[in-house]
Structure 1
């Protein structure tokens, strides 16, 4: 049976899963949360964040997780005077769910074209109007690691950056029953959606240790990636069937439909 493996953290594939059930009801779905999100609940970090937003000139939430965990860590309303930037539409939606939007007086920047939902796209967006970053205090709310390129652009322009780690990612244990479920799949009728480079690295590490079924995944499973950088990393890791699409549930849905239709044509 054709199977799609969804690898986002628990609860974050719900909308895509529902869309797939509506459009491809005959497609089997399996959840394999390669990473778990652990919010930072350190009171000291919370006080640090509260102090930093008083002096920051600009703040960047790196992901929807950074929005949810960052606001929880802050424990207060976000000040309307501090402009915000986010990488993509998912983070903008996470802000909107908390009432942080232009209708409530907030200034929020993000690339409107989903083809540009990445660090490069955000950098182009916030510099679409000439601006001097020299001497500015930039606040990054993020997970542990990631987005070094974007921070470096501000540093190169003479800004000072401050980072608050709002969450950590924990890899799925190799002892998890989820892996036993996955290894029973027929690799040539399975696709796996990968949304982050870190999740890809963990998958590769587990497959490298998994005999005899690991090698069949590298050779036959279709990896659907939501960014060209992830797709390139998947190819370099040894996956033979790699597809790339834009970020966002709608694009992932179309990519999955295309794979599924091609699979039916081969039968």
Structure 2
């Protein structure tokens, strides 16, 4: 069952952010709540999320954050683990439809009203897009919900197993191209399957992924990826990955024998 969530419009969210960014985590915890006088709901059918569910969500996220050091200091590794657990938890528990999750105002409410202490602990004195929902690829909670949405495989024993295949930076590179690529869970999951099976043989990770995505983007206007059968799509993506690895190695002036060997190793052929 999906719910409608409160929305905090930009006129109310921006002043809160300006105030909250200078408060302590303890002060922000005292300001957290399940409602706001200025919050609104979209004027469509659907059940509004119960207050008890919002309370449960807050308790759940705080428990995950405590494992990562909240409210004190943390480190990069524990923050990354927190993010992955947060993605799974909010996607599995919030009952959000994608159309509702596409609203930045929903995520502004979550960050500034329900979880202000978590938001500003995870990103101390953050730029506005981390909490306001103006860019969902950057939002402290919203980006993680979408990350889980795009890799979620409900028929698998572990529906979120693909969460750890790509790091945050790599995933953001896909999601930032969502109009052509990142908006399709079907395509993203196939990208992850191909990418997870590659042995890059010491090639620069970021450069290789960037080249791979650029090649996909060039095809996007001409290929309806959603219409391809899984085995066909998988084969197309592997072919693009081979082109990418070849191009990256040629740019580094690798010899033809070395390129052929690395391609064989990478693709098991």
Higher strand share: 1
TM-score band, normalised by the shorter chain? under 0.3
Higher helix content, 1 or 2: 2
Higher relative contact order (CA 8 A, sep 6+): 1
With normalisation by structure 1, the TM-score equals: 0.24
Alignment TM-score, normalising by the size of structure 2? 0.24
Q: Which has the larger radius of gyration?
A: 2
